[in-house]
Structures are given as structure tokens and as C-alpha cells.
Amino acid sequence: MKWRFVIMKRSLWVILCCLVFGADGLLSRVTAADAPSVTIALGSRKGSATPSRQGFTHTGGGNIDVAQPSPDTVVITMTGVAVAGAHPCKDSTATLTFDLMQNLEVDFEKPDIKKAKLTVEARVIGLLRSHEKGGGSATIAAPGQATVLDGDNKALVIVALPEHSVCGGENESVNNRETPEGVSIKAGKYTLHQAFAVSATHPRSLKLCKASSAEFAPDPALDPLWISAFEPFHGAAKKDFGFQVTIKVAPEQ
């Protein structure tokens, strides 16, 4: 009985090993089959988020996040906040300006692919606030725009979002998305130029009044001291705030 138990134990171990290595092989074959045949390789980049402040102001965030969730997709997100309040001696202005140049290289993984479809999608989510007694304003100072350039710096695709601004007590929740724009391309090197800016202003005043703000970044970019518990968008979900551009490539059918 003891020998029979040892033999059964070894047999079970062999079967288990076969199952594991067999599953590994199957996983490798599935992964290879599902791998995209057109890919994007990230090259060098030059990006900046520049604050400009005068008077009683606040800026926050200033992040430019470049992510590649899959070999055929690149996602760039710009997030920032600008706030301006009443200063007794001068006008207040706060601006946060973003600019990015990202080099990309599109590769064809299979020799039978001659052209690919490159698509660019953009969206912007955030909040604009002003106060009726303060006279301040909040704007998307430079509407979000993304341009894909070829090797000769010729624009192939341009995606732009509309302007938004509030003043005199107006408040606005912004959630815009542009339909993806596409273009037929060959394998080679390209450049993405992405720009965005948010701004808030407030005239000089001795009155105690709420600040105006352009909030396009997740917490904690905007210090809660700048807004009250009774502000119009209390409890808003902010994790997706910002200007985001998604670039995808796929074999052209």
C-alpha cells in the first residue's frame, strides 16, 4: 500500500507539471496571436507646465502624464488648477499653461501590412467657478488641442476642443469629448504636439468674496481653503479631471 501511494503521488505530480507547462505554452500562443500588428514606440519628449501668478492667487497640479496601456495605444493627460481671489491693491491673475512635444515611431510587425489607421481622440473634464459679487472670471485659456505631425512637420490630424469661460456668478461643469479623427499613415516617425491652459482672474477689491477658479485636476491640486463647503459642485468626483488625448494605431482595412 505504501508503494502504491508513492506511485500515485508521483503520477499526480507529473500530471500537475504537464498541466502547468501546457497552460504556459497555450498562454504564450494566445498572447502571440493577440499581440497588435501595428505598434507605437515612444521617443524623446519635451513638456512643460508653466504657472504665471499675480496678486492673491493659487496654482496646483501641473502634471503631464504619458502612459502606454498597450503597444498600439498612447494616452497623455494634462492636469492643473488656477485660482484668483480679491487683492486690495492690484488685480489677481493665475494661469497654468501646458505644452508637450512627444516623438512617436509607428512600426509594422508584419511584412504584409502596408498602411495603418492612426486615430486621435480628446476629452476635457473639470469645473469653472466665479462669484457674482467678486467680478472674477475663470476660463480654459487655451482650448485643448492635439496635432500629429509627420517627419516634415506637416499636420496630419488636428483635434481641438471648444472654449469655455464663466464670470459674474456663473459656474460650469465641463465634460467635452471630440469624435476621434483618423488618418492613413505609413510606418515611420511622427510627433504629437499637445497644448492646454487654464486661467482665473479677479479685479482688485476690498470686499470679502469667493475666489474664481478653473479646476482641471484631481484632488488635492485645489486646496479646499479656496472654496467653501457650500460651493456649487460640492462632492463632485474629480479623479478623471484634466485634458486627455488618446492615440491609437491599427492595420488599415
- Other C-beta atoms closer than 10 Å to the C-beta of 74 total 21
* Helices and strands (H, E) in the chain, number of each type: 1, 12
Please check whether residues 153 and 28 belong to one and the same domain.
no
Instruction: Assess whether pLDDT exceeds 80 at residue 205.
Output: yes
Write the single-letter amino acid at 75: V
Instruction: Assess whether pLDDT exceeds 90 at residue 209.
Output: no
Total domains, the chain: 2
Please check whether residues 88 and 98 belong to one and the same domain.
yes
Question: Beta strand pairing status for 73-84 and 212-216?
Answer: antiparallel
**Nearest one of 99, 96, 161, 159 to 124, comparing CA atoms:** 161
Residue length of the chain: 253
**Grid cell at residue 115:** 498602411
Tell me the average pLDDT of the chain.
87
Taking the model in full, what pTM does it have? 0.85
Please check whether residues 3 and 108 belong to one and the same domain.
no
Residue 129 to residue 169: CA distance in whole angstroms: 8
Please check whether residues 133 and 26 belong to one and the same domain.
no
- Other C-beta atoms closer than 10 Å to the C-beta of 87 total 17
Q: In sequence order, which residues have a C-beta less than 8 Å from that of residue 183 and are 6 or more positions away?
A: 117, 118, 148, 156, 157
pLDDT tens profile 32-50 = 456 789 999 999 999 999 9
Please check whether residues 24 and 45 belong to one and the same domain.
no
Mean pLDDT of 191-208: 93
Please check whether residues 65 and 188 belong to one and the same domain.
yes
pLDDT tens profile 64-105 = 999 999 999 999 999 999 999 999 999 999 999 999 999 999
Q: In DSSP terms, which residues pair with 212 in a beta bridge?
A: 84
Q: For position 22, what pLDDT does the model report?
A: 53
Q: For position 79, what pLDDT does the model report?
A: 98
Please check whether residues 61 and 29 belong to one and the same domain.
no
Please check whether residues 106 and 202 belong to one and the same domain.
yes
Q: What range does the domain containing 9 cover?
A: 1-34
Please check whether residues 71 and 14 belong to one and the same domain.
no
Q: For position 14, what pLDDT does the model report?
A: 42
Instruction: Assess whether pLDDT exceeds 90 at residue 228.
Output: no
Please check whether residues 23 and 49 belong to one and the same domain.
no
**Grid cell at residue 218:** 484631481
Please check whether residues 14 and 49 belong to one and the same domain.
no
